[in-house]
Structure 1
Amino acid sequence: MTDDEYLWEPVPGCWSVRRHSEGPGPRATLLTGTGDWGRDAAPAPHPSPPPFTTLAWRLTHLSEMLTLRADHVAGSHTLTRDDYRVSGDAAGAVAAFDAGAAAWRQALLCTDDTALDKVGHSTYPHGSDPEDVFIDVVWWVNQELLHHGAEIALLRDLFRARRH
């Protein structure tokens, strides 16, 4: 994946990752994450209709979700969106996704059957995790990976097939 593909905005008004110094994109009110780059976001209520999101937005969303949920299951239970480093380039984003997936996998491997039925086993603060049975959280993470992973695959196909 190239940086051009990673940051490609196929339609006007996309949410993406941007330099903090440039500020948020259209209909976004903030950039989440630490470092030079952040991901477009807005507090609830979110814009309606939802903005179209770039491959960069989707990949960093997944990476952040995996990293933070792993931390809130088997780590320090302290990481927030403001602690997550958003990558402004494709290589960094792929590496961050790999690290997040490995952390989530390790958190699941350390989870016993009793924890799967425990309410609040994940203390992740940006969802209903503290009120949910952990197996439902695992199901949700799988749905997010399938959903956004398919979108990323489609965007890669569209980028490859676009007319220059």
Structure 2
Amino acid sequence: MTTPSRLIPLLEQFDFARERLTNRMAGPIMDSGDGADTKVGPITDEEYLWEPVPECWSVRRRVDGPGSRATVLVGTGEWGRDAASYPHPSPPPFTTIAWRLSHLSEMLTLRADHTAGGHALTRDDYFVSGDAAGAVAAFDAGAAAWHKALLSVDDAALDTVGLCTYPHGSDAEEPFLDIVWWVNQELLHHGAEIALLRDLYRTRSH
């Protein structure tokens, strides 16, 4: 299938942001943003779960229960991600790299399924990684699934309202092209947050 011309720049932006975040987490080389390559080690489990301020939301072992102001651990497996029913706590809790990466990977995985898969996955089906290597691999798998889903749509699909049946957003009310744009901004802003947290972790006072 020929990729619609309107989708090409958004797909290229997604692929660029995906590669940049993966390199920022996994190393050994990252794009520092000024055109110079910088060496970086792979994210460690300690860094992945680092809570730089009190009462962070993160991913936690189910036996330990949810964190402060969270009421549930979403996902499946030994670990879950802090969450709460609407209305969410205000002000919003500060979230760890683990929380942000799990949220991003889950969104990509579920939206891919609700665009070009079985249209059935829920948050309860998503496996939450308690270690950094597993989380990076889950992000890569989710990003690959979303990329593949985008390649399955034609030009008419971009204007179809509710093409994606993802249940945790405005997908049912939006043309699919707007959802593609939204996913890109999610990747861009959470990717930037994760990069900043890596910088803060590296320069923290011991």
* Normalised TM-score (structure 2): 0.79
Partner of 1:74: 116
Match runs of 1:115-154 below 5 Å: 115-154=157-196
Partner of 1:92: 134
* In structure 2, C-alpha distance between the alignment counterparts of 1:124 and 1:150, rounded to whole Å: 24
Q: CA RMSD in A?
A: 0.5
* In structure 2, C-alpha distance between the alignment counterparts of 1:52 and 1:163, rounded to whole Å: 19
Match runs of 1:7-156 below 5 Å: 7-156=49-198
Letter in 2 for 1:13: E
* In structure 2, C-alpha distance between the alignment counterparts of 1:112 and 1:43, rounded to whole Å: 36
1:21 offset after TM fit, Å? Answer: 1.0
Identical aligned pairs, as a percentage?
79
Structure 1 residue aligned with 2:200, among 140, 155, 158? 158
Larger Rg: 2
* In structure 1, C-alpha distance between the alignment counterparts of 2:73 and 2:67, rounded to whole Å: 9
Structure 2 gaps, min length 5? 1-42
Q: Deviations over 1:21-41 (max 9, x none)?
A: 111000000000000000000
* Normalised TM-score (structure 1): 0.99
2:82 aligned counterpart, secondary structure: strand
1:118 aligned counterpart, secondary structure: coil
Letter in 1 for 2:120: T
1:151 aligned counterpart, secondary structure: helix
Between the two proteins, the alignment pairs up a number of residues equal to 164
